[in-house]
Amino acid sequence: AQSVAQPEDQVNVAEGNPLTVKCTYSVSGNPYLFWYVQYPNRGLQFLLKYITGDNLVKGSYGFEAEFNKSQTSFHLKKPSALVSDSALYFCAVREDYGQNFVFGPGTRLSVLP
């Protein structure tokens, strides 16, 4: 069965500093990996996805994520954090032959001015 872990409940970073939100996964087959962001009382917004190919995936709002097969990780990164990046971030995985997504528990990012 597939699973996703986001080891940090909360990440705090100063505005202008680089940020990383961690995600590790477990699947039987090849993974499709996703990042979503959720602002308060809003639905999830799609940020980026990894299907195959280049391990570094670029997405919306300056975010990128690096797929690392040997470490089964897909960490979300941004070179310079903005206060407006403060939100709840979800990692999700789907196996290449599967139907449904499995979401991680979420990581709350706070960017401090």
Binding site for other proteins (CB under 8 A): 32, 34, 36, 41-46, 49, 51, 88, 90, 92, 94, 96, 99-101, 103-106
Helices (H) and strands (E) in the chain, counts: 0, 12
With respect to other proteins, which residue has the nearer C-beta, 12 or 80?
Answer: 12
Q: In 3-state terms, the chain is what percent helix, strand and coil (to 5)?
A: 5, 55, 40
CB of 4 to other proteins, least distance (A): 10
Q: What is the dihedral of CA 7, 91, 16, 42, to 10 degrees?
A: -120
In sequence order, the β-bridge partners of residue 111 are: 13
With respect to other proteins, which residue has the nearer C-beta, 43 or 113?
Answer: 43
CB of 40 to other proteins, least distance (A): 8
CB of 81 to other proteins, least distance (A): 21
Count the Cβ atoms, other than its own, within 10 Å of residue 63: 20
With respect to other proteins, which residue has the nearer C-beta, 15 or 44?
Answer: 44
